Amino acid sequence: MTQFLPTGPLPGTRDFFPEEMSVRQLVFAHLYEVVESYGYLRYDAPMLEPFELYASKSSEEIVAQQTYRMTDRGGRDLVMRPEMTPSVARMIAACAGKLQLPARWYSHPNLWRYERKQRGRYREHWQVNVDLFGTESWEAEAEIFEILAEMMFSVGAKTSDFVLRVSDRALVRGALTANGGVPEEKLDALFGALDQFEKLPVEESKKIITALGLDAERVVATITAPEDEFLKLAPTEVALRSNVARVIREGLVTSQPVQLKFDPLIIRGFTYYTSSVFEIFDTDPENRRSIAGGGRYDNLVGLFGKQRIPGIGFGMGDVTLIDFLHTHQIAPAARVGADVQVISPDPAARGPVKQIAHDLRRAGLRVVTPLEPKKLGKQLEKAAREGVRCAVIAGPDELARGAVKLRDLARSEEREVLLSDLAAAVKQAVARSVSTEVKS
């Protein structure tokens, strides 16, 4: 028996067939449009980076357990990037001398993490990364939060569908020290424990906190204080410096209102975040993974050179976002059929068929022509089955009159059109067919 090669993608990775790719493209086109409307410029970096770029700067869990690590033919210790922030910080440092600040940059990398296999988790995902460099001003947080919200609105989310949960590590450290009785040197260990707080029963978390030698009741009372009260628990001078507290006071300017909530339980496991951290969550409690997340990292660029350039940014990945759209039944419909097929019952009409197809392409239409001789009826049936919107039939009689038949494949209606009017007529038929599809 012949041994065939496997047709599936690697475990934990995905093939994007045209239908799925079309949805991914439609969704990300909306996101790009928002990001570019704020003046962000696209950049790109190589997929492989040296291991040292992540070691002890990124998330320990990712570096130790989830990297795709390899040694290349030159003996270099490399990683397939698990996230984009170290790469963009490196690039900003590389052009620091000539860079105009603030710099607004975005990218759309594929990222690799060797995650345990479970529903909705993939080892390769695509992420829009948006970063703003060169300012410590709270206006940066305001802009970044507005962009996040507008990205959500752009794909059809409503105010009630998502919450933007924000925190500030400096503020939370201040509150835990001043009100929770936590000594400075135990804060990092406590943050590690709090990262699991929402996933565990409260009693379980209290045990863990007690084991750290802390007063679990005071700690839990502090981190679960209502938003208004929490913001008063840190020392005043810390609260006054907090960018997220300022943005909460000032509010956001967005197309629709945004549920913006201070939440000290937003921890984010990346070592490089210095103060603000934030995540977007579905309001549907069934969907508990964050849709986007980010933070401020004012010291990361400084690891690459003398110039300290503050940064703030976030990533929004395709897996959780498209899950969210499906949950709320607002995912776009795939669009895969060509606009028009040009055919003729007469094999001798190959020249005119090819020329008409060429002219329609130049007019901006997506046009297919038959590659093998088949009966006209079969060609039309096949085109309709593939979702092609209309057919141009170049019969010898019509061609002699400088005309063709234009057939609407969904409605099975046809009429004669002069070649000089053809591009406009096809565009009209396609537009009508797309609007019918959207209505139905």
d(CA 259, CA 205): 27
How many chain residues bind its own copies (CB under 8 A)? Answer: 93
The nearer residue to its own copies, 13 or 196, going by C-beta atoms, is 13
Tell me how far, at minimum, the Cβ of 210 lies from its own copies, in Å.
Answer: 35
Site residues for its own copies, 108-147, by CB under 8 A, read 110, 112, 114, 124, 132, 135, 137, 139-140, 143
Residue 371 binding its own copies, by CB under 8 A: yes
Residue appearing with tokens 């096949």: 382
Tell me how far, at minimum, the Cβ of 387 lies from its own copies, in Å.
Answer: 9
Q: Which two tokens stand for residue 309?
A: 């350039």
Site residues for its own copies, 24-43, by CB under 8 A, read 24-25, 34, 36-39, 41-43
The nearer residue to its own copies, 386 or 413, going by C-beta atoms, is 386
Cα→Cα distances 95→90, 109, 307, Å? 9, 20, 11
Tell me how far, at minimum, the Cβ of 283 lies from its own copies, in Å.
Answer: 24
| Span from 12-20, 186-194, 238-246, 264-272 in contact with its own copies (CB under 8 A) | 12-20
Tell me how far, at minimum, the Cβ of 314 lies from its own copies, in Å.
Answer: 16
Tell me how far, at minimum, the Cβ of 293 lies from its own copies, in Å.
Answer: 22
Neighbour-count burial for 318-357, b at 16+ CB within 10 Å, e otherwise:
bbbbbbbbeebeebbebeebbbbbbbbeeeebeebbeebb
Site residues for its own copies, 236-265, by CB under 8 A, read 253-255
Determine the Cα angle at 116 with ends 115 and 119, to 5°.
Answer: 100
The nearer residue to its own copies, 212 or 399, going by C-beta atoms, is 399
HSE-up (13 A, CA, CB side) for residue 66: 21
What are the beta bridge partners of residue 278? 166, 294
Query: Running DSSP on this structure, what letter comes out for residue 256?
Result: S
The H-assigned helical ranges of 195-317 are 202-211, 216-223, 227-230, 236-241, 243-250
Peptide bond into 102 cis (omega under 30): yes
- Choose, by CB under 8 A, the member of 26, 191, 370, 405 that binds its own copies: 370
- Choose, by CB under 8 A, the member of 207, 366, 378, 401 that binds its own copies: 366
| Secondary structure of residue 440 in the 3-state scheme | coil
For residues 316 and 343, the answer to whether their CB atoms sit within 8 Å is: no
Question: One symbol per residue from 47 to 66: x for binding its own copies (CB under 8 A), - otherwise; what is it?
Answer: xxxx-xx-------------
Neighbours of 359 (CB within 10 A): 15
- Choose, by CB under 8 A, the member of 68, 259, 299, 427 that binds its own copies: 68
Tell me how far, at minimum, the Cβ of 256 lies from its own copies, in Å.
Answer: 12
d(CA 139, CA 38): 13
Site residues for its own copies, 149-208, by CB under 8 A, read 150
Site residues for its own copies, 383-402, by CB under 8 A, read 385-386
Residue 375 binding its own copies, by CB under 8 A: no
Residue 44 binding its own copies, by CB under 8 A: yes
Cα→Cα distances 106→28, 109, 141, Å? 13, 10, 16
Longest Cα–Cα distance of the chain, Å, equals 93
Residue 21 binding its own copies, by CB under 8 A: yes
Residue 226 binding its own copies, by CB under 8 A: no
Strand spans (E) along 283-323: 292-296, 311-317
Site residues for its own copies, 81-110, by CB under 8 A, read 90-91, 93-95, 100, 102, 104-105, 110
HSE-up (13 A, CA, CB side) for residue 332: 19
d(CA 11, CA 354): 44
- Choose, by CB under 8 A, the member of 7, 56, 329, 412 that binds its own copies: 7
Site residues for its own copies, 320-349, by CB under 8 A, read 336, 338-339
Question: One symbol per residue from 266 to 305: x for binding its own copies (CB under 8 A), - otherwise; what is it?
Answer: -------------------------------------xxx
Tell me how far, at minimum, the Cβ of 135 lies from its own copies, in Å.
Answer: 5
d(CA 311, CA 211): 35
The nearer residue to its own copies, 104 or 169, going by C-beta atoms, is 104
| Span from 174-182, 381-389, 404-412, 415-423 in contact with its own copies (CB under 8 A) | 381-389
Query: Pairing relation of β-strands 41-42 and 103-107?
Result: parallel
